[in-house]
Structure 1
Amino acid sequence: MRTVAGRTDHVVVVGAGLSGLACVLHLLGAGRRVTLVERDAGPGGRAGRTRLGGYLVDTGPTVLTMPHLADEAFAAVGDSLDRRLTLVALHPAYRAGFADGTWLDVHTDAEAMEAEVRRFAGPAEAAGYRRLRDWLTRLYRTQMRRFIDTNFDSPFALVHPDLARLAALGGFGRLDGRIARFLSDDRLRRVFTFQALYAGVAPARALAAYAVISYMDTVAGVWFPQGGMHALPRAMADAAADAGAELRWSAEVTALERQAGRVRAVLLASGERISCDTVVLACDLSAAHRLLGRAPRRPVPLRHSPSAVILHAGTDRTWPQLAHHTLSFGDAWERTFEELTRSGMLMSDPSLLITRPTTHDPSLAPPGRHLHYVLAPCPNTAVGPSAAAWRDLGPRYRDSLLAELERRGLDGLADSIEQESLVTPADWTAQGHAAGSPFSLAHTFAQTGPFRPRNLVRGLDNVVLAGCGTTPGVGVPTVLVSGKLAAARITGGTGRGIRPGTDTDDPPARPGSITRPDPDHPRCP
């Protein structure tokens, strides 16, 4: 594995998102002096926090999987995730509603999910689910160490017996076709393939290897941190400060001072100069390229994932059919992905994610009130409406979303809203996200593994990248890994996530966490 040449005693990390924070903790654990520089007033990056009246709103991801990856970062400085946060295991992980009026609770416990599938679709599908679960587990074990939790120096690093194992598992086929080998019910197949949207690719075109995301969602477990998702980066920042990191908030980096092929200092908008031995750019990839003064040459342009419209709604009521996370599927499926990724049209029959964080933390809203987060995937600005167009389109689309949700059973939703915030591709663009997408680069084959923008910067001996735009990719688990891999480029560590004395890649159990079921969730008809 290639590493940063020369001295690495003092590292400046630019960006306090999850990847930057994970990198800081791993660097501190390896004995480096670290200064973290963040343009915002506090940590989080995409996993930020805003206030709407008396409501505390997470502005980024709402789904936490693989929390042991965060625990590895805390452990690097002798700390632990359980010491800093209380996690609630979500049962069900999701509730899925379909256009025909049926509902399915998605459990991560094998016996509970098998029973639910049997109720929902019969014994043959239940048996298919058990075979699928076994396949997902073997797929994850094959991929995690060799293809996700590793630094690639060239595509030749793929040549390994695990590559043959991945091929034997069907990982290079198409996702929807592989899932269809286990499940014939179209509704069930959606539950195990919608995750391809996280990777920015339609299930019909995504590699079956991306079913590893489904493993994280439907097998390994889904969790919620008390205090909301923003509590995770806040806890990581606190651990970093306690371990000796210097945290600089409201400090925007405007330039890199270079000499003889190395960055010698970062320059702040305030005029301050911070000298360093090494720099980690854990900011958005487009921002990193601006600081570097160039983007790497590639044979084809970078392709970005679809974007999203998010409606944060503080309401005076809620609806008993909602779980903590509810997937509301439209009747269309293939057409939806065509609209999102190719034709650039808004979903004509939307599939939506509705998250109600007050299910497990009522303190995020005023007494007797509820917080709902509605995510509607939409085309990015490279293939769909421009950022300027969204300024007029946004309010109309908000009204159509509310009308559609009321049609699907959330009666009175529009009238119940007391506080709200609508986020569109125009807002993502204003925050500096290329193509108006917070999900960065799509995981096409040409942008995956060693073909994704690498975390070492050619032409500069001491600059490393971290975040969703570099390896291994998009999502909370993968950006945590990204921070660890960036640190390994500096410290020479392997970056591997296997704990001493273990011989498995399976996520460890979390005996210290709360695992209570969702309250107030009667089974849907």
Structure 2
Amino acid sequence: MKTVPGTTEHVVVVGAGLSGLAAALHLLGAGRRVTVVERDAGPGGRAGRLDLGGYRLDTGPTVLTMPHLADEAFAAVGDSLYRRVELIALHPAYRARFADGSHVDVHTDAEAMEAEVRRFAGAAEAAGYRRLRSWLERLYRAQMRRFIDTNFDSPLQLLHPDLARLAALGGFGRLDRHIGRFLTDPRLRRVFSFQSLYAGVAPARALAAYAVIAYMDTVAGVFFPRGGMHALPRAMADAAEDAGARFHWSAEVTALEQSSARVTAVRTASGERIACDAVVLTPDLPVVHRLLGREPRRPVRLRHSPSAVVLHAGTDRTWTGLAHHTLSFGAAWERTFDELTRTGELMSDPSLLITRPTSHDPQLAPPGRHLHYVLAPCPNTTAGPTAGAWHELGPRYRDRLVSELERRGLHGLGDSIEAERLMTPADWTSQGHAAGTPFSVSHTFAQTGPFRPRNLVRGYDNVVLAGCGTAPGVGVPTVLISGKLAAARITGPRVHTHSRRCPERVPSAVPSVKAACDDPS
């Protein structure tokens, strides 16, 4: 594995999002002096926090899986995620509601999910679920160490027996078709394939290997940090500070000083100069390229994932049919993905993620009030409406979403809203996200593994990237890994420290977490 040459005693990490904080903790654990420079007033990045009239909103991800990957970062400095954050295992992980009025609760416990599938779709589908679960577990073991949690220097690293194992498992076939080998009910197939949208690819075109995301959601377990998802980066920043990191808040890096092929200092908008021996850059790729003064050449331009409209709604009531996470599927499916990724139209029959964090933490809202987060995938600004168009389109689309949710059973939603915040591709664009999407570069085959933008920057000896735009990719687990991989480029390879500790405070979740913790991959 290639590493940063020369002295690396003092490392500046640009950005205090999940990847930057993970990098900082791993660097501190390896004995480096670390300074973190963040343009916002506190940690989180995409996983930020907004206070709105007593409602405490998570501005980014709402789903936490694979918590042992976060615990690795804490463990690097002798700390523990489970000491810093109270995790609540979600049972069910999701509730999926369909246009025909049916619903299925998605459990990560095998026996509970088998019983639920039997109730929902019969014995044959329940047996298919068991086979699917076994396949997902084997797929995860084949991929995790060799293709996800690894630094690639060359595509030749793919030439390993694990590649043959992945091929034998059907990992290079199409995701939707492979899920169909186990499940024939189209509703259940959606439950185990919609996750490919996180990777920016429709299930019919995604590689079956991306079912590893379904493993994280439906096998390894889904958790909620008390205090909201922002509690995770807040705890990581506290642990890093306790371990000696220095933080510069409200400090936007505007320039890099360079001597020959090395960056020698970062400069902020206020004129501050911070000398360094190495730098980890975690902003979105356009910001990184602006700081570096150039964009790396690629044979084909990068393709970006679809974007999303998010409605944060503080309400005076809630609805009993909602779980913590509810997937509300429309009747359309293939057409929906064509609209998102090909024609650039807003979903005519949307599938939505509704998260109700106050179901497990009422303190996120004023007494007697409730918080709902509605995510509607939409085209990015390259494929669909421009960022400028969203300033006028956003309010109209918000009204369409509220009307659709009321039609699907959330009666009186519009009248119940007391405080709200709408996020559209215009907002993501203003935050520096390419193509107006918070989901970054899509995971097509040509943009995955060794073909994704590398975390070592050609032409610079001591610049390393972390975050969802580089390897291994998009999602909370993968950006945590990206921080660890970036740190390894500076410190050199270290013994893998996958945490074997499971959260003492969620005993009911131990089986699913323990399976991930004890995984031999």
Q: Give the alignment's TM-score, normalised by structure 1.
A: 0.96
TM superposition shift of 1:113 = 0.1
TM superposition shift of 1:192 = 0.2
Q: Is the 8 A contact 1:82 1:513 kept in 2?
A: no
Which residue number corresponds to residue 278 of structure 1? Answer: 278
Distance 2:493 2:370 in 1: 45
Which residue number corresponds to residue 246 of structure 2? Answer: 246
Which residue number corresponds to residue 267 of structure 2? Answer: 267
TM superposition shift of 1:284 = 1.4
Q: Cα RMSD over matched residues?
A: 1.0
Q: What are the superposed Cα offsets for residues 352-371 of structure 1, whole Å, 9 maximum, x if unpaired? A: 00000000000000000000
Distance 1:384 1:337 in 2: 13
Which residue number corresponds to residue 114 of structure 1? Answer: 114
Q: What are the superposed Cα offsets for residues 309-367 of structure 1, whole Å, 9 maximum, x if unpaired? A: 00000000000000000000000000000000010000000000000000000000000
Q: What are the superposed Cα offsets for residues 386-422 of structure 1, whole Å, 9 maximum, x if unpaired? A: 0011111000000000000000000000000000000
Which residue number corresponds to residue 513 of structure 2? Answer: none
Corresponding letter in the other structure for 2:505: G
Distance 1:162 1:456 in 2: 24
Distance 1:495 1:17 in 2: 24
Which residue number corresponds to residue 49 of structure 2? Answer: 49
Corresponding letter in the other structure for 2:8: T
Distance 1:494 1:160 in 2: 21
TM superposition shift of 1:513 = 2.7
- Number of aligned residue pairs: 509
TM superposition shift of 1:493 = 1.9
SS of 2:219's equivalent in the other structure is helix
1:495–1:340: structure 2 CA closer, same or farther, 3 Å change rule? Answer: farther
Distance 2:334 2:88 in 1: 34
Q: What are the superposed Cα offsets for residues 47-66 of structure 1, whole Å, 9 maximum, x if unpaired? A: 00001101000000000000
Which residue number corresponds to residue 515 of structure 2? Answer: none
Query: Does residue 295 of structure 2 align to residue 295 of structure 1?
Result: yes
Corresponding letter in the other structure for 2:369: R
Q: Is the 8 A contact 2:255 2:267 kept in 1?
A: yes
TM superposition shift of 1:221 = 0.1
SS of 1:220's equivalent in the other structure is coil
Q: Is the 8 A contact 1:149 1:495 kept in 2?
A: no
Corresponding letter in the other structure for 1:202: A
What is the correspondence of 1:86-105 to structure 2 with a 5 Å cutoff? 86-105=86-105
TM superposition shift of 1:511 = 3.4
Which residue number corresponds to residue 391 of structure 1? Answer: 391
Distance 1:498 1:44 in 2: 23
Corresponding letter in the other structure for 2:321: Q
Distance 2:502 2:167 in 1: 29
Identity in percent: 80
Distance 1:495 1:390 in 2: 48
Q: What are the superposed Cα offsets for residues 34-73 of structure 1, whole Å, 9 maximum, x if unpaired? A: 0000000000000000011010000000000000000000
What is the correspondence of 1:291-330 to structure 2 with a 5 Å cutoff? 291-330=291-330
Q: What are the superposed Cα offsets for residues 270-325 of structure 1, whole Å, 9 maximum, x if unpaired? A: 11110000000011121111100111100000000000000000000000000000
Which residue number corresponds to residue 77 of structure 1? Answer: 77
Q: What are the superposed Cα offsets for residues 87-108 of structure 1, whole Å, 9 maximum, x if unpaired? A: 0000000000000000100000
Corresponding letter in the other structure for 1:472: P
Query: Does residue 504 of structure 2 align to residue 511 of structure 1?
Result: yes
Q: Is the 8 A contact 1:150 1:495 kept in 2?
A: no
Distance 1:347 1:496 in 2: 43
Gaps of 5+ in 1: 500-506, 517-525
Distance 1:40 1:167 in 2: 44
Q: Is the 8 A contact 1:149 1:472 kept in 2?
A: yes
SS of 2:420's equivalent in the other structure is strand
Q: Is the 8 A contact 1:88 1:514 kept in 2?
A: no
Which residue number corresponds to residue 512 of structure 2? Answer: none
Which residue number corresponds to residue 333 of structure 2? Answer: 333
Distance 2:248 2:199 in 1: 32
Distance 1:448 1:54 in 2: 41
Distance 1:273 1:24 in 2: 19
TM superposition shift of 1:512 = 3.4
Query: Does residue 195 of structure 2 align to residue 172 of structure 1?
Result: no
Corresponding letter in the other structure for 1:407: R
What is the correspondence of 1:66-465 to structure 2 with a 5 Å cutoff? 66-465=66-465
Distance 1:262 1:496 in 2: 29
Which residue number corresponds to residue 476 of structure 2? Answer: 476
1:495–1:173: structure 2 CA closer, same or farther, 3 Å change rule? Answer: farther
Q: Is the 8 A contact 1:87 1:514 kept in 2?
A: no
Distance 1:461 1:307 in 2: 34
Distance 1:495 1:66 in 2: 19
TM superposition shift of 1:495 = 7.1
Distance 2:427 2:467 in 1: 20
TM superposition shift of 1:494 = 4.2
Which residue number corresponds to residue 29 of structure 2? Answer: 29
SS of 2:257's equivalent in the other structure is strand
What is the correspondence of 1:486-501 to structure 2 with a 5 Å cutoff? 486-494=486-494, 496-498=496-498
Q: Is the 8 A contact 2:72 2:498 kept in 1?
A: no
SS of 1:314's equivalent in the other structure is strand
TM superposition shift of 1:515 = 4.1
Q: Is the 8 A contact 1:311 1:373 kept in 2?
A: yes
Which residue number corresponds to residue 519 of structure 1? Answer: none
Distance 2:51 2:264 in 1: 38
Q: What are the superposed Cα offsets for residues 150-203 of structure 1, whole Å, 9 maximum, x if unpaired? A: 000010000000000000000000000000000000000000000000000000
What is the correspondence of 1:10-21 to structure 2 with a 5 Å cutoff? 10-21=10-21
Distance 2:147 2:495 in 1: 12
Q: Is the 8 A contact 1:485 1:495 kept in 2?
A: no
